[in-house]
């Protein structure tokens, strides 16, 4: 599970490089009752509030392109949502990497004659992911895919009183699992499962927490990539002794353990990193 989060965060940190210039003043001020699409000017305001010294820095010019034939504000919504989502995954992955690197694991068996102790003994977190049996990997990847599908569902978003982030909705919003017609009872939501988070918070407090989340997510994306780089022998001061070494393919979702899957053996013949 640790490497599943690592794998997602690795892709996330790459894909979400430019979105780091996002999250707009609406995240630092109360949102209007009707969500407004955000502009480059909004990003510039937010950039100053998040990091006054760096300010607005968008070297790749991603805010000038259009995605799926939609306008610039839709593209900004896409980028803002991507940054928040990738930052959250990276924060979980960074903590998970540390836990895995220190050999902390569940005390019971995973199934099929494999225990969590066996996986933890495989080495660094990337090596631990390689040691996960095929059936378990497929379950994890399928579950992630279902969460992605649900989070993009217009119906699910509408049931939670929200729009899609490219059509005026709130970037980073994830629909409730309890009110969106899931075919079986779900006791908890993905975010804020116990309903305690942000309860009774003022608009100013919410704005501050959102800003903190963006900055923490950016730091976590850099951190998880530092762990990955250090595990492959690159010098990353402060992380080299924590990451552990890894000789496999860091970008490959499957390893020789999963050679029973089609094309995996052929895939492993072509090293990526």
pLDDT at 81 over 80: yes
pLDDT at 74 over 50: yes
pLDDT at 23 over 70: no
pLDDT value of position 236: 76
Give the predicted TM-score (pTM) of the model. Answer: 0.80
pLDDT at 137 over 80: yes
pLDDT at 32 over 60: no
Question: How do residues 34-43 score in pLDDT, each as one tens digit?
Answer: 456 889 999 9
| pLDDT class of 143 with cuts at 50, 70, 90 | very high
| pLDDT class of 3 with cuts at 50, 70, 90 | very low
Distance CA(169)–CA(33), nearest Å, equals 11
Question: How do residues 214-263 score in pLDDT, each as one tens digit?
Answer: 999 999 999 999 999 888 888 777 776 777 888 888 888 898 888 889 98
| pLDDT class of 142 with cuts at 50, 70, 90 | very high
pLDDT value of position 174: 92
pLDDT at 26 over 80: no
| pLDDT class of 180 with cuts at 50, 70, 90 | low
């Amino acid at each position: 599970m640790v490497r599943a989060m690592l794998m997602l965060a690795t892709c996330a940190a790459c894909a979400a490089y430019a979105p780091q210039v996002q999250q707009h003043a609406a995240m630092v001020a109360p949102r209007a009752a009707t969500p407004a699409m955000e502009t480059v000017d909004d990003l510039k305001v937010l950039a100053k509030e998040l990091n006054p010294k760096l300010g607005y820095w968008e070297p790749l010019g991603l805010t000038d392109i259009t995605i799926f034939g939609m306008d610039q504000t839709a593209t900004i919504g896409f980028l803002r949502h991507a940054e928040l989502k990738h930052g959250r995954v990276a924060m979980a992955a960074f903590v998970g990497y540390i836990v895995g690197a220190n050999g902390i694991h569940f005390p019971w068996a995973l199934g099929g004659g494999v225990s969590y102790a066996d996986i933890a003994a495989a080495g660094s977190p990337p090596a631990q992911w390689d040691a996960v049996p095929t059936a378990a990997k497929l379950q994890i990847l399928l579950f992630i895919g279902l969460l992605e599908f649900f989070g993009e569902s217009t119906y699910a978003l509408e049931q939670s009183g929200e729009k899609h982030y490219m059509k005026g909705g709130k970037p980073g919003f994830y629909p409730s699992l309890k009110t969106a017609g899931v075919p079986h009872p779900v006791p908890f939501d993905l975010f804020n499962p116990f309903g305690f988070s942000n309860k009774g918070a003022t608009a100013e407090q919410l704005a501050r927490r959102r800003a903190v989340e963006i900055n923490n997510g950016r730091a976590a994306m850099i951190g998880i990539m530092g762990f990955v780089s250090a595990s492959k022998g690159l010098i990353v001061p402060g992380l080299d002794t924590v990451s552990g070494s890894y000789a496999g393919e860091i970008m490959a979702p499957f390893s020789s353990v999963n050679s029973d899957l089609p094309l995996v053996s052929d895939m492993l013949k072509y090293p990526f990193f």
